Structure 1
């Protein structure tokens, strides 16, 4: 499993370093799920950021324009529309096997966490290329997927041409 230290080694030292669990607790109560620990740890470290000028990650304590909860609510509504839902390998939502939209990219990809079928199973990552439309299920945790992305591996999003000098992030304001 990818560790935050491996991500920091590639992306740089985080500046957000959030420690109050209240925004996560409220979000998790609203959706009736507990987000994966690695996902929470990464977002608590970095906050709402754009990585490599491409991938948007948002924290639940972010302000209205870059708030994970607000974004998820809007994205769930959009992905439940019939013409959008047919592009995905399953329904969006917080139930077992459903897809929770958690990130997007300037290049037209959407990143979902697949809710485990049972609590002992791991969360997985699904990435949809909106322009194709094709989707890929990655049998890895969010942290492992992000680490692969930062290393320039093809995980549907590819960063080599957008970050030729190496991975970087910018806080979303």
Structure 2
């Protein structure tokens, strides 16, 4: 199982280290879900960042340009449009089985967390490719998916050309 320590060992020491749960509580209340602990831990540690000049993660306490809540609102609106529905295996939203958009890539992919069907069901990652109506379900948690991404494994968003040496991140400003 992926651990935060393994992610930090590959990505580098985190600098954001957010501790106030208020932005998460407010955002989770708005969307009616509680985001998975591993996703929150990673985002709280690194904040709003671009990883390998490719993958964008945002924090709910980020400013307007890089706010996770603002991005989710806009992405939900986009993915609920009639001509975008065919790109996903299930609707975008916060209900069980629906897809919550949480990250994007400079290469045109969108990363979603699949809301579990029940309390004992795990969160899963779905990546949709915008250049074709294709999507991939990854039977792993967000932490496991990010760790695989950082290792250069094929998790729909590839890193080989973007981080030929080692994974890295830069804060979004």
Query: Which residues in structure 2 correspond to 1:62-81 (within 5 Å)?
Result: 62-81=62-81
Q: Unaligned stretches of 5+ in structure 2?
A: none
The SS at the match of 1:13 is coil
Aligned to 1:54: 54
CA distance in 2, matches of 1:119, 1:30: 20
Tell me the TM-score normalised to structure 1 length: 0.99
Aligned to 1:108: 108
- 1:21 is aligned to 2:15: no
How big is the shift at 1:83? 0.3
How big is the shift at 1:149? 0.2
Aligned to 1:87: 87
Aligned to 2:33: 33
Root-mean-square deviation (Å) = 0.5
**Structure 1 segments (4+ residues) deviating >4 Å:** none
CA distance in 2, matches of 1:33, 1:120: 15
CA distance in 2, matches of 1:87, 1:65: 26
The SS at the match of 1:112 is strand
How big is the shift at 1:87? 1.0
CA distance in 2, matches of 1:28, 1:111: 18
Query: Which residues in structure 2 correspond to 1:93-172 (within 5 Å)?
Result: 93-172=93-172
CA distance in 2, matches of 1:60, 1:141: 20
